[in-house]
Structure 1
Amino acid sequence: MQKPDSLIFDMDGTLWDAVDTYTTSWNLTFEKLAIDRVINRTELLGLIGMEGSKLTKAILPDFEDNIAQGIYMDVNETRRQILPQSGGNMYEGVIDGLKLLATKYKIFVLSNCAVGIIPLFISWANIGDYVTDYIAYGENNMPKHYNMHLLIEKHGLKAPVYVGDTQGDAEQTRMAGIPFIFVSYGFGKTNDYEHKFNDFPSLTSYYMGL
């Protein structure tokens, strides 16, 4: 594997854990729309990282697609409203690590979230100085491998890697034809990776040493 020129990071389960905020955004929306449904953290945890269309089918199987999508849009609007206050828990070493890594690599964030969530995350974590660009599923409803190539082409990346925490991340990264770096502290499991790190400081140390 050649030395990378850029690190593309997944967001949820890789840089932070905002599942409690996401859970609240669903439950506030259910309450507002008088939907007799409550979702808990454990249930949502198993669905984090899914594309929006698949997520709505999993959470709202009894609703027609267009109705479910409308509810999901409402959830995301609620999420955009509450996230600046409630935020999430940054994983140990992420902010200091990104600050260091940005001195050596171009840093990107690529997530299957809705439009507007990544910039709110970047602002909340105060990491805007370190992130070159970002893209979310909600911007074009396209899968991660497609959006990886959008970033690669837009920024002329020669040797990017994708850093994520799930089997789905691994599969999408393989489809993009770039190396997958697995962080085991996140929400998922996989045995399909080039490198594995058990914490963010280890990842930072490795890439700063290349």
Structure 2
Amino acid sequence: MLQKPAAMIFDLDGTLFQTETIVIEAFHLTYAKLREENLYHGDVPADQDILGCLGMLLEHIWERLMPKASLEVRERANELMHEYENALMERGQGKLYPGVAETLQALRDQGIRLFVGSNGLEGYVKDVTRHMGIDHLFERLYSAGEFQTATKVDLIRILLENHQVPTAWMVGDRSSDIEAGKKNQITAIGCDYAGFRKSGELEGADAIITSFDELLHLIRS
């Protein structure tokens, strides 16, 4: 039996936001611009390799996708990714998973405090929640980019301490989310609907949901 929490903390990519609706195009635009600026001449990774990196810290993503690139090139890639992702969302691209907005509102109506805890850059996290029309539902957005944390465990620890949260659920689709919940002694809920997680990645979760609105059923049960 799961206890109704005082707060829920949500990962962003693969949990609330269908990242693949913008990220593949943004990556391809970024690589094309880097080539145009004569900063990168290597291969462009396959789409599946890009999706496999989602949820990681951005610096680790570039280490995997552009292992021989300099720090200068990776920093330029960060700038370009943010620019292209924001431009794509401004054009109306990008989607939340089904039921996300309605479920978040229902949780908030029950008095549950809502937070985002993401390994993304600060600007990206704020842009996504704003463009998707859900930023007003959260008490605070926490990102590795803003707090300069090395792990999701550290980011969630800071969040819990800053807001004096007595009980919480960490909701996410990657092993880093499950680890962040377990190592901070809070309930870990695994999301199994994004379609690009690795096998066994949600092992250790207290519960696994296959659609976002199942959170409401977990609370009622």
Same fold (TM over 0.5): yes
2:15 maps to what in 1? 14
Match of 1:139 among 139, 142, 146: 146
After TM superposition, the structure 1 = structure 2 runs for residues 1-210 of structure 1, keeping only pairs within 5 Å, are 2-34=3-35, 35-36=40-41, 37-104=43-110, 105-142=112-149, 143-186=151-194, 187-188=196-197, 189-207=201-219, 209=220
Distance of 2:23 and 2:11 partners within structure 1? 16
Cα deviation 1:130-178 (Å, max 9, x = unaligned): 2111111111321211221222122221101100011222123222222
Structure 2: stretches of 5+ with no match in the other structure: none
Deviates more, 1:169-178 or 1:97-106: 169-178
Aligned residues: 209
- Alpha-carbon contact 2:153-2:176 (below 8 Å) kept: no
Distance of 2:45 and 2:95 partners within structure 1? 20
Cα deviation 1:61-114 (Å, max 9, x = unaligned): 111334323323332233233333244222111111111011120011111111
Letter in structure 2 aligned against 1:172: A
Deviation at 1:46, TM superposition (A): 0.6
- Alpha-carbon contact 1:8-1:108 (below 8 Å) kept: yes
DSSP-derived class of the 2:91 partner: helix
Structure 1: stretches of 5+ with no match in the other structure: none
DSSP-derived class of the 2:86 partner: helix
DSSP-derived class of the 2:56 partner: coil
- Alpha-carbon contact 2:103-2:213 (below 8 Å) kept: yes
- Alpha-carbon contact 1:185-1:198 (below 8 Å) kept: yes
Cα deviation 1:177-202 (Å, max 9, x = unaligned): 22211111123232211111111122
Distance of 2:80 and 2:134 partners within structure 1? 27
TM-score by length of 1: 0.90
- Alpha-carbon contact 2:56-2:119 (below 8 Å) kept: yes
Distance of 2:109 and 2:211 partners within structure 1? 20
CA-based RMSD: 1.9
- Alpha-carbon contact 1:163-1:180 (below 8 Å) kept: yes
Sequence identity of aligned pairs in percent? Answer: 24
Distance of 2:166 and 2:114 partners within structure 1? 13
Cα deviation 1:22-51 (Å, max 9, x = unaligned): 122222122122134434432211110011
DSSP-derived class of the 1:161 partner: strand
Distance of 1:97 and 1:20 partners within structure 2? 21
Letter in structure 1 aligned against 2:125: I
